[in-house]
Structure 1
Amino acid sequence: MKTLIKSLQIERFRAFQNLRVDGFGKVNLITGKNNSGKSSLLEAVRILASGGSLKTIFDILNYREELGSSVELDKTYLPTEIAPFCNLFHDFPDISSSKNGFSIISTGSLPESISRISVSINWFTRKVDTESDRQTIFYEPASRDLFDDMEPFPALSLDISGRKRVVPLDRLQRRYPIRNEVDTSPIPCVYLDPFSSRSTSQLGALWDAISLTDAEKDIVKALQVISPDIQAVSMIGSDERSARPRTAIARSARFPSPLPLRSFGDGVNRLFGIILSLCNARNGVLLVDEIENGLHYSVQTEMWRTIFALAKHMNVQVFATSHSWDCVHAFQQAASESPEDGILVRLSRKGESTIPTIFTEQELEIVTRDQIEVR
């Protein structure tokens, strides 16, 4: 099975002025110090793999609490509809310039329709085509000399493998239409943040997608790494406001009746979220930020073994971040059993540049043996 994303070229996205990473594998662990760009790399992959989904862009900004605020930058006031989206661009864009966008380009077997994307903020005017039977609204780039006569507005200009789209920023600030937008990406892309597993109700939709399939057995087998007594897992409750909230429950050999999965501790719930997300990413991409959260070091090797096996079986490319030495060591132990699949990428900052260093399994074995710092 070919690697979906073999290399990645990121320009002017967040802290990345120009970053190129070559040689990704089936399972990739991204390490580096705080503020080295680990989470931003996941965001770039997420935007690309989702086909430039507006909902994905909205969710990224919302998670970082970047929505709904205005900023003052170099004595230039940026209004509410513009400011949040400027966070996506390196050093904030000059919206009076045409060179203010970011781009993400990949090589590999990712579908050509989503293998490259560029996004910029520009001013547009709204036009109406009255010559056709049905009036059609379209957008044109605004010319500076027309600003006095027209009503220009800022918009995201997206180019997704040659398909162009203009989205007024005030529309992106209206949360619910964007939240309900249908994902049209040709591959699944599942993202798990460091805290998603704290509430099993957040994982209800993922459970519904694999319920009553063979993936249930894979999830139970993974949970037995931490709690061997777990025999089955299910989800009860409803998303309806007046009903009992969605809750994951588990049947255990130690208890006469099922218990909430939360009763088994943070480690079980974190692993539940990871494996459930992986099963939902079949033939696509799984992104996990701070994968070791809530997991004791003693179970991390088995966790990685499970991820390697399921990623190969379900044809999922995994990108995970960590700054834990225990996690790196556990990753190396599991990768040694699948040497062609595991790659560690360390990101380090040098001035304004981000430098990636690639470690294959053989190099990673030397790193862990000699305890060379790669976090």
Structure 2
Amino acid sequence: MNTESTSTQPGGSAYPLPSLHIQGFRAFKDLRLDNLGRVNLIVGKNNVGKSTLLEAIALYASGPEVIRELRNLLKARQEFRRPLLKDERDPSVDIYRAFHTNTSTGFDFEPTLRIAPSGSGEKSLQIKLQRKSGPFARHAEPDISAQYGAEKKGNPVSEPGLDKNQTPAAERLFTCHSIPARGLEGRQLDWLWDNIVLTDQEQDVLRSLQIIAPGIERISLAEGTRISTQGRIPLIRQKGSHDPEPLRSMGDGMNRVFELALGLANSKDGLFLVDELENGVHYSAQEQLWRLIFETASQLNVQVFATTHSWDCIEAFQRAASAHPSNGALISLARQEDGVKGTVFNERDLEIITRESIEVR
């Protein structure tokens, strides 16, 4: 039975991004991706831009918070500019590194990046740098402005290219949660758990853990048990046991699945992004995990984008996608003479790729 949600986003699409066009962002000079699915797996060689694609999607979804999101993105990558003074102890991010042409020494360089669904000018995000004028302009950080379509979302600001005092906006363009390759911090887990506790989604999270350990009967985050800034400790109770035990004692795979399930459960009617989904998850459990992702994404009307380096993960994705017609897509990124390009494969293509062991990574 097809469980595809009938919910639609503005403009009639079943999910936020039926297609994507990225110009001038980091590794992408001009990248077009059409016919995206509800659940999308991104593959490609190292340093081709798989994580960058997730960053572009998160940036687009951030709505009025786009300038803050861009600043956080650069901080997470530790992309700071060189200090102008020897005793400068708090270097600012190098804003130029967010743009395709990375020329932070270029005085006349005023780049622009654009991210939007293909052919949708009114939904386009545009971020532009503008150099300052005056006798010290060469050494000054540029101003930055952001605009969605004809509606301006950010004014030029001054905190070396970005405004660290910007007031957080009330809401994003879309709900969007991201799980990095290294996993989530404790406080982030606390927040995600508190959002779904005592709801139907709590049972979805438990069901995901049972993929690896069928004997788990309950899970909770221990109230009042805190270690520094690491947040509460996830505890589980297994069948036949009267004492709880830390989830972390079950291994990295269990913790990874817990993070994935929490992120997905919190992404209703929005986007869910995962970098290196297979991290810590044994290949034998990956097909079941993908099936759960497909089912939950359809039930909650979530569009998923995940990256992988693993052929086992691709095969598991294909088998799960075959049970969900028109829901899955494989995005293969490759570097060509005129820049990074993407090819989108549907379920039929993916079946041939895995059957014939055609290399797409």
Q: Is the pair's TM-score, using the shorter chain for normalization, greater than 0.5?
A: yes
Paired amino acid for 1:189: C
1:166 counterpart letter in structure 2: N
- Supply the AA of the counterpart residue of 1:90: H
Q: Given the alignment, which residue of 276, 301, 305 partners 1:315?
A: 301
Note closer, same or farther for the CA distance 1:118–1:98 as it changes in structure 2 (3 Å cut). Answer: farther
- Shift of residue 99 of structure 1? 4.8
Report if aligned partners of 1:116, 1:160 keep a CA contact under 8 Å in 2: yes
Q: Aligned partners of 1:93, 1:101: CA distance in 2, in Å?
A: 13
Q: Is the 8 A contact 2:126 2:148 kept in 1?
A: yes
| 2:102 corresponds to which of 82, 92, 95 | 92
Further displaced range: 357-366 or 328-337: 357-366
Offset of residue 59 of structure 1: 2.2
Aligned to 2:116: 105
Residue among 115, 122, 144 paired with 2:130: 122
* Structure 1 residues 224 and 152: CA distance shift in structure 2, 3 A: closer
Query: Given the superposition, is the C-alpha separation of residues 195 and 8 from structure 1 closer, same or farther in structure 2, using an over 3 Å criterion?
Result: same
| 1:162, distance to aligned residue in structure 2 (A) | 2.0
Matching residue's letter, 1:30: I
CA 1:84–1:14 in structure 2 vs 1: closer, same or farther (change >3 Å)? Answer: same
- 1:214-258, Cα deviation, whole Å (9 max, x unpaired): 111000011100000111111124598879841111111153211
1:320-331 superposed matches below 5 A: 320-331=306-317
Secondary structure at 1:231 match in 2: strand
Matched, 1:251 2:232: no
CA distance in 2, matches of 1:19, 1:71: 33
Q: Deviations over 1:75-105 (max 9, x none)?
A: xxxx954x62111001225764475111111
- CA shift at 1:282, angstroms? 0.4
Contact preservation (8 Å) 1:200, 1:248:
no
Matched residue, 1:158: 146
Match of 1:191 among 178, 203, 215: 178
Q: Hey, what's the Cα distance between the residues in 2 that align with 1:153 and 1:70?
A: 12
Percent sequence identity is: 37
8 Å Cα contact 1:200/1:269 also seen in 2 = no
1:64 paired residue number: 77
Matched, 1:48 2:56: no
Query: Hey, what's the Cα distance between the residues in 2 that align with 1:188 and 1:357?
Result: 26
After superposition, the Cα gap between the structure-2 partners of 1:172 and 1:252, relative to the gap in structure 1 and judged at 3 Å, is: farther
Aligned equivalents of 1:96, 1:158: Cα separation in 2 = 21
Q: Alignment partner of 1:170: what SS?
A: coil
Deviation at 1:54, TM superposition (A): 2.9
Gap runs ≥5 in structure 2:
1-5, 7-13, 85-89
- Per-residue deviation, residues 23-66 of structure 1 (Å, max 9, x unmatched): 10100000000011101111110000111523322221122111
Deviation per CA, 1:131-154: give whole Å up to 9, x if none. Answer: xxxxxxxxxxxxx5xx24999862
The aligned runs of 1:316-355 (5 Å cut-off) are: 316-355=302-341
1: CA distance, partners of 2:218 / 2:186: 15
Contact 2:40 2:305 in 1 (8 A): yes
Which of residues 20, 27, 36 in structure 2 aligns to 1:8? 20
Q: Which has the larger radius of gyration?
A: 1
Amino acid at match of 1:168: V
| Number of aligned residues | 340
What CA RMSD, in Å, does the superposition of the two structures yield over aligned residues? 2.8
Q: Which amino acid aligns with 2:310?
A: S
Distance 1:192 1:233, change over 3 A: same
Cα distance, 1:186 vs structure 2: 3.9
Which structure shows the higher strand fraction?
1
* Preserved contact between residue 67 and residue 163 of structure 2 (Cα < 8 Å): no
Which residues in structure 2 correspond to 1:182-331 (within 5 Å)? 182-197=169-184, 200-237=186-223, 245-331=231-317
Q: Which moved more, 1:20-29 or 1:188-197?
A: 188-197
